[in-house]
A and B are shown apart, each in its own frame.
Chain A
Amino acid sequence: MTYHQFLREREQIDYLIEQGYYMKSVKENLSGSFVEFEKEDSLSETRDIQTLHITNADARKYFSSLLIRQLRKHHE
């Protein structure tokens, strides 16, 4: 049940990252996490931004772990 929700949300996150998006901002409120992804190479005026609404607790851990990895990579 919840596991399937996790899989669904993880797939959405993985899909965007595979497409070259990175996490740009996270807003959290009573409804969960709203993660804004931006395309790595979006040089054009109109920025390519996608927002995912993550509600599953495991999925929120998942994107958080990826975020820490992203920040570390960025730092290197």
Chain B
Amino acid sequence: MADLSINLAGIKSPNPFWLASAPPTNSGYQVQRAFEAGWGGAVWKTLGEPILNVSSRFAAISFNGQRVMGFNNIELITDRPLEENLKEIYETKKRFPDRAIVASLMVEPKREKWHEIVKRVEDVGVDGLELNFGCPHGMAERGMGSASGQVPELVERQTYWVKEVARTPVIVKLTPNITDITATAEAAAQGGADAISLINTINSLMGVDLDTWNTIPHVAGKGAHGGYCGPAVKPIALNMVAECARHPRIRIPISGIGGISNWRDAVEFMLMGATGVQVCTAVMHHGFRIIEDMIEGLNHYLDEKGIASVMDIVGKSVSKYSDWGDLDLNYKVVARIHRERCIQCNKCYISCEDASHQCIERLVDENGKEYLKVREEDCVGCNLCSIVCPVDGAIEMVEVPSEHPPMTWNERQAALGRLSGCSVDIKSL
């Protein structure tokens, strides 16, 4: 059995799976039941001045029979008084001293407000703080959440204020509602953050009802943008984690969040630089019990790979993530159709014909039987046919040896530049 325990900027937990700050961490009752089920840590539902919520507040996108591909909410931070939450945090920590309890905080961008809440929360024995600069709705209109989180100077300044008084590690939770997440991640690091967590939810409108013309969800016939999360956001979150992990000026640990539903997702985030992960939507969909499969799957994976500690996989794929200009232009793959597996559905043919390079041919063999074949010399290796093919293994992408050594776009442009008299027409770039 591998060692699943992690240490994220000094916050220790017996496994890398934490509950994200959200409805599942709204009360001591819930967090304690989660810990009983096996969760390694919990980021408490964001504390601040208690708010008022609307009804209704959630919506989801189901896709092709799968429920909750994407999830959306217009819920705000905790609506319960701070003392009540603090009492429950204290009791929960006493019952589960080995689990990580992190308090998520959100207050107005004022120094004394941050100082006050940090002191009160740390007094009940939390293991760390997470600053919520991410909620995209409701609080943003009041200068909090993503309104702060979209402005690097505000992130840096508020992180600094927290660090002035904090005795426990400070995690800054980032909003994805920004063009370049590394700008705010760097600001957090500059402000003294011990770690960052990402992502919070993405601005979204789930849908419009075709009969009533109301938004989905709606509150008495009116809607507002909400925060998007769940499996559909995983690629966005993973990229943002990777961008932060490979950034030379963001040298602090990362807690990965966004669409994580199983141990595989968690491993991907950890390989791309996260020291641990947080989960919300998957628990809202399936309950706390998913932790059993997550722990078992991760354990099995590490044992099979002969890896002693889960911390050993952190960041192992970061160096493989680069810029487009550093990719090898001479690397080539082509599609190959395995006739014995193909069910002749023609999906690959249509995709290549209509959306790619028209290089799948419909042929007839000597017995008069139709079959499909890729004209490999014209195939650009775009993967489209293998993506749309409904049969596993019917289309294989095969590497074609190159007669030339690797050549990146950046190397090519440098070579052109070295030629005397060469000019690169910038209008064409």
Residues of A within 8 A of B (CB): 1-3, 23-30, 36, 61-62, 64-65, 67-69, 71
Contacts and interface: CB of A to CB of B under 8 A. Distances in A.
A25 B419 CA distance: 6
Contact of A27 (B329, B357, B412, B423): B423
B415 A71 contact: yes
B402 to A, nearest CB: 9
B428 A25 contact: no
A71 B417 CA distance: 11
Interface of B: 329-330, 357-358, 375, 377-378, 404-405, 407, 411-412, 415-416, 418-425, 427-428
Interface of B is mostly: loop
B300 to A, nearest CB: 43
Contact of B412 (A2, A24, A30, A64): A64
A69 B415 CA distance: 10
Contacts of A1: 358, 378
Question: What are the 5 closest A-B residue pairs judged by CB atoms, nearest first?
Answer: A65-B404, A25-B421, A3-B377, A29-B425, A64-B412
Nearest to B378: A3
Given A1-B358, A2-B357, A67 B415 contact: yes
Contacts of B416: 26, 28, 64, 67
Contacts of A65: 330, 404-405, 407
Contact of A68 (B378, B412, B422, B424): B412
Nearest to A61: B329
A24 B424 contact: no
A64 B416 CA distance: 8
A69 B404 CA distance: 9
Contact of B407 (A2, A30, A36, A64): A64
21 contacts: A2-B378, A3-B377, A24-B420, A24-B421, A25-B419, A25-B420, A28-B416, A28-B428, A29-B427, A30-B425, A30-B427, A61-B329, A61-B330, A64-B329, A64-B407, A65-B330, A67-B415, A67-B416, A68-B405, A68-B411, A69-B404
A36 B329 CA distance: 22
